[in-house]
Amino acid sequence: MTGLKDKVVLVTGAASGIGRACADAFAAEGCRVMLSDIQDDLGTDAVESIAATGAEAVYQHHDVTSEQDWASVVRDVEQRWGALHVLVNNAGIAWAGSILDMTLEDWRRQTAVNLDGVFLGTRAAIPLINASGGGSIVNLSSVAGLQGSATLSGYCATKGGVRLFTKAVALECAANGWPIRVNSVHPGIIATPIWNSIIPDALMAGANTLEPSELAAEAVPGGAVGSPTNIADGVVFLASDQASYMNGAELVIDAGITA
């Protein structure tokens, strides 16, 4: 038993890729799921497909860089379900290219989504998770939050930031007696649309394409690309009772890239 049945879960960036797989997986555990994103058509599609399974899910437009949007989403979750138990800070973007080509605007946009969004979400969710009797926050970092990658300096900075932010908040929750575990997940190369936004300059050493399966064939031990469900499985585990002794930890799901 995961202990997740009937829990209330908020997943950001849930219209696509890993976030959508997380929403599906929590719904399959019997959770009530709020999916948020800025891609409203895809978000609505995701909710319809979850509803078709008999599970309870709602979509809300939500830009994670907006303090006002966070207040509104958390208020909506509270009014609708009276509680929040799990927050998955998943929304993210990847800007790639030479540091010499990165404008301050590029840097700030990357940081706003990947780092400000995680900060705003964590701060907004803690009081409601506390008032709900406790729960868990799972933050999507990356293998790029564990090791550097040429032409991904801005992305690496945000994902490394998410890693240590996670540990610091986990310690603060424990020190205050707040019953909230906070952990990070570090995916390797996962087949999602995020790769479409990465420009050719971002090619990793030795790779000649950004098709994730071809990139994985060159960069992953064993050569297999990951699927969004590989990551969702880890996220659900971290939120479950089975991970009750995990806090401030980093769950690496990369088929050995960082090994």
Question: What residue ranges bind ligand NAD (CB under 6 A)?
Answer: 12-13, 15-19, 37-39, 62-65, 90-94, 113, 140, 142, 187, 189-190, 192-194
Q: How far is CA 200 from CA 96, 151, 214, in A?
A: 8, 10, 14
Q: How far is the CB of 6 from ligand NAD (least distance, A)?
A: 26
Q: How far is the CB of 95 from ligand NAD (least distance, A)?
A: 11
Nearer CB in complex with ligand NAD: 13/248:
13
Q: How far is the CB of 134 from ligand NAD (least distance, A)?
A: 25
155 has catalytic annotation: yes
Nearer CB in complex with ligand NAD: 174/204:
204
Nearer CB in complex with ligand NAD: 64/238:
64
Q: How far is the CB of 90 from ligand NAD (least distance, A)?
A: 5
Query: Given 155, 165, 186, 247, which residue is catalytic?
Result: 155
Nearer CB in complex with ligand NAD: 55/146:
146
Residues carrying an active site annotation: 155
